[in-house]
A and B are shown apart, each in its own frame.
Chain A
Amino acid sequence: MWARAACLGLRASAAARRRGFTSAGADPQGSGRVTAELIEHLERLALVDFGSQEAVARLEKAIAFADRLRAVDTDGVEPMESVLEDRCLYLRSDNVVEGNCVEELLQNSHRVVEEYFVAPPGNISWSKLDEKGPSHTAE
């Protein structure tokens, strides 16, 4: 799970640099150090527990790796919207051609009630979860 979050964080901050998106908590200097506050922030956003100091260290390494992108001189190069930006955006006719496959989909689910996926209530009340005291090793 942590890998997914780290990956997202990377993609987002890389995008932020290129596009000028604001990205609260991201380290603008790219020193590779990740503060406890930033970890906590990411944990809240992604509902992921980083779990250990080792995971944080790995995240720092991943960021440092991606930071090498800064070495590329992009002065005067117009940013692209996407690598597909010169392609036509295909338009689909408004016909119903998918769906009706609930049994197949629910096979992916860890838990099922009737025809519903069952998810933990994690993001419903983060504060309540806090009260129950999950371990935050990143602290």
Chain B
Amino acid sequence: MAAPVLRWLCPGRCWAFARIGGCSCHGRGVPTASTSSGKRGQSSVARQSLITAQEPRKGDREWAAVVGLEIHAQISSNSKLFSGSQVHFAAPPNSLVSFFDASLPGTLPVLNRRCVEAAVMTGLALDCRINKKSLFDRKHYFYADLPAGYQITQQRLPIAVDGSLAYSVCVGKKLGQAVTRTVRVRQIQLEQDSGKSLHDDLRSQTLVDLNRAGVGLLEVVLEPDMSCGEEAAAAVRELQLILQALGTSRAIMAEGQLRVDANISVHHPGEPLGVRTEVKNLNSARFLARAIDYEIQRQISELENGGEILNETRSFDYKLGCTVPMRDKEGKQDYRFMPEPNLPPLLLYDSASLPAGADPQQVINIDRIREQLPELPSVTREKLVRRYGMLPEHSFALLNEVGLLEFFQNVMKETRAEPKKVASWVLNTFLGFLKQQNLAVSESPVTPSALAELLNLVERKAISSSAAKQVFEELWRSEGKTPAQIVAEKQLELMQDDEALEQLCRATMEAHPQVVMDLKKGNPRAINKLIGLVRKATLGRADPTAIKEVLERQLSG
């Protein structure tokens, strides 16, 4: 029931081909469930080729994988990028569509200020250079869910370029080995989202809902600086937390507010990069890493067997656990980019370049937006580590769940227990219960005050920590009771009677001479057995350290 801490990462950056069953990473097998279970869906053909490749052969060398990402984040705004219709998930079909969104003749785009500000803010948070002049372009493709026949995007000169995103991954099996990696952000561009198509194969028709058509998107392009699915997933997760901290996107993958395409290739280290494939629509955090790792394995296996990699678009079939080519576009993509004639260049200003007397509604000041940047998740985590001396992975886990950090901080306000202990209770016990019942932090039946009071009881040595677990379970079940009431009702308070404990210890040793003999012969672990027996005799109401002290005193006496 441990809290989902960090993503585990394979230690090396090289992919060794000849490993079966475990991770394809060089060095050790991979400790994640996700990667190994990802193998389950592999076709028997692929498995077979893995086995044959295990035999030593000429040219059996290491592989390196290269992964780049294109991430589409829906901008959190009231209205769409170029029209005044509402942005809302799961509204009745075509109810949030303006004449412009439906591409009626004579309608023109009018840029939403909020979307520009969101792009600038995201660019600043990702250490980008903000282009004071950026341009809009048309990208043509003919889908019914984009009725104009083109998408307005920023191809030539995007709003932000040359940034970086730092993320952390765990290496090795032990906790506390989080490593920070950086991926370069090539650019952030503003563009329109498309509508949604529902395909009715039976009747051979497509139902089109344009509610999403024209919603503002931030396309964040990450350079191919990642080398496996876990790294990519960790980078996406960090970006998601940043967007949510900024409020520029709600970035909920399940609602399609964050969508990921991955460019993947493999090569031998020291040689030029291989031909890449693009795996589209990785729209689930769960399958992101798995899909990328599958595609890396597929490419290696293809090349090892004398095949070649085609520059193609593939999609991940999460039921089969593999990537399949998308026949849709047949590699004949030609977007016929051209400048958007209806939108002049987008100009941004800083405090120095702000034109005097300009209408404040019509100018965007980059410096003002920079001043308004909220604290980013990496800073919050650093502060937690510094202030409470907690493990870095605990700081990650606290930020990983909506409201969990606030819960922790509220418990801290009312307890004298050590921060580390509080973190451990919040991340293991509390989060464990939440996960088990699939609840959000806000739905928890246990309040921060109740947990604080419980931890105070442990701190005062009024109850043992195992009794505290019992009290917690009771708190979870029966709302309204205080921890003190539960302790009194269940008689869980620790034995404070030293005399009684002395007697119980003596009696236990007399009843188990064999264990005492073992201990005297020099088996230090035998004392644990005695402690356990005494605890049982006290019905779990004695503190194990106190028992140990008494036992040791009696043994030496």
- Where the two chains meet, the residues of A that have a C-beta atom closer than 8 Å to any C-beta of B are 8, 11-12, 15-16, 19, 21, 23-25, 41, 44-47, 81-102, 105-106, 108, 111, 113-121, 123-127
Residue pair A94, B327 in contact (C-beta under 8 Å):
no
Checking A81, A93, A97, A101 against B113 with a beta-carbon cut-off of 8 angstroms, the contacting residue is A93
Q: Which secondary structure characterizes the binding site on chain B?
A: loop
Stretch at the interface among B18-26, B202-210, B299-307, B483-491: B202-210
Q: Nearest A residue to B113 by beta-carbon distance? A: A91
In B330-386, the 8 Å CB interface with A consists of 330, 332, 334, 336-347, 361-362, 364
Contact yes or no, A99 B97, CB < 8 A: yes
The 0/1 profile, CB within 8 Å of A marked 1, for residues 51-84 of chain B is 0000000000000000000000000011100011
Assuming the contacts A94-B114, A102-B95, A115-B93, asked whether A23 and B347 have C-beta atoms less than 8 A apart, the reply is: no
Please state if B336 and A102 are interface contacts (CB–CB under 8 Å): no
Closest residue of chain B to A114 (Cβ to Cβ) is: B93
8 Å CB contact of A87 from B83, B95, B344: B344
Flag B136-178 by CB within 8 Å of A: 1 or 0 each. 0000111110000100000010000000000000000000000
**Among A8, A81, A125, which residue has its beta carbon within 8 angstroms of that of B339?**
A81
Partner of B205, one of A12, A82, A92, A119: A119
The residue from B79, B115, B343 contacting A82, defined by CB atoms under 8 A apart: B343
Contact indicator B345/A81 (Cβ below 8 Å): yes
Give, as a whole number of angstroms, the nearest-CB distance from B165 to chain A. Answer: 26
Cross-chain contact B111 with A106 (CB below 8 angstroms)? no
Give min CB distance, B193 to chain A, whole Å: 15
16 contacts between A and B (CB under 8 A): A8-B149, A16-B336, A82-B341, A85-B344, A88-B362, A89-B346, A91-B111, A91-B364, A92-B111, A92-B112, A96-B78, A108-B102, A115-B95, A124-B199, A126-B330, A127-B327
Interface residue? B98 (CB, 8 A): yes
List 4 other contacts, CB 8 Å, given A15-B338, A45-B332, A126-B330.
A19-B338, A90-B111, A95-B84, A99-B95
Residues of A contacting B142 in the complex (Cβ-Cβ under 8 angstroms): 45-47, 123
Q: Does B96 contact A (CB under 8 A)?
A: yes
Known contacts: A88-B344, A116-B198, A124-B328. The answer to whether A12 contacts B336 by CB under 8 A is yes
Q: In chain A, what residue has the closest Cβ to B142? A: A47
Kindly provide the distance from the CB of A18 to the nearest chain B CB, expressed in whole angstroms: 9
A125 to B326, CA, bound (A): 10
**What is the chain B residue whose CB lies nearest that of A119?**
B144
With the chains together, A102 CA to B99 CA distance in Å? Answer: 10
Task: Give CA–CA (A41, B94) in the complex, Å.
Answer: 32
Point out the residue from A11, A47, A117, A121 that lies within 8 Å of B210, measured CB to CB: A117
Nearest 6 CB-CB pairings of A with B: A119-B144, A99-B85, A94-B114, A98-B98, A15-B338, A116-B207
Of B97, B198, B207, B341, which contacts A102 at CB under 8 A? Answer: B97
Interface residues of B in 78-122 (CB under 8 A from A): 78-79, 83-86, 92-100, 102, 104, 110-116
Residues of B within 8 A of A90 (CB): 110-111, 362
- B85 and A45 within 8 A (CB): no
Q: Quick one: closest B residue to A111, CB to CB?
A: B205
Q: How far is the CA of A24 from the CA of B111 in the complex (A)?
A: 31
The distance from the CB of A96 to the nearest CB of chain B, in whole angstroms, is 4
Closest Cβ of chain A: how far from B555's Cβ, in Å?
Answer: 75
In the bound assembly, the distance between CA atoms of A35 and B362 in angstroms comes to 49
Contact (Cβ within 8 A) A23 B112:
no
Contacts of A108 in B (CB 8 A): 102, 104
By the criterion CB–CB under 8 Å, are B206 and A124 in contact? yes
Contact A12 B199 (CB under 8 A): no
Residues B345 and A96 in contact, CB atoms below 8 Å apart: no
B235 interface contact, C-beta 8 A: no
Q: Is the CB of A25 within 8 A of B110?
A: no
Q: Does B244 contact A (CB under 8 A)?
A: no
- Looking at the complex, which one of B78, B201, B334, B343 makes contact with A95 (CB distance below 8 Å)? B78
Q: Does B135 contact A (CB under 8 A)?
A: yes
Closest chain-A Cβ to B369's Cβ sits at a distance in Å of 14
Is the Cβ of B85 less than 8 Å from the Cβ of A120? Answer: no
Residue of B whose beta carbon sits closest to that of A96: B86
- In angstroms, Cα B333 to Cα A41, docked, is 10
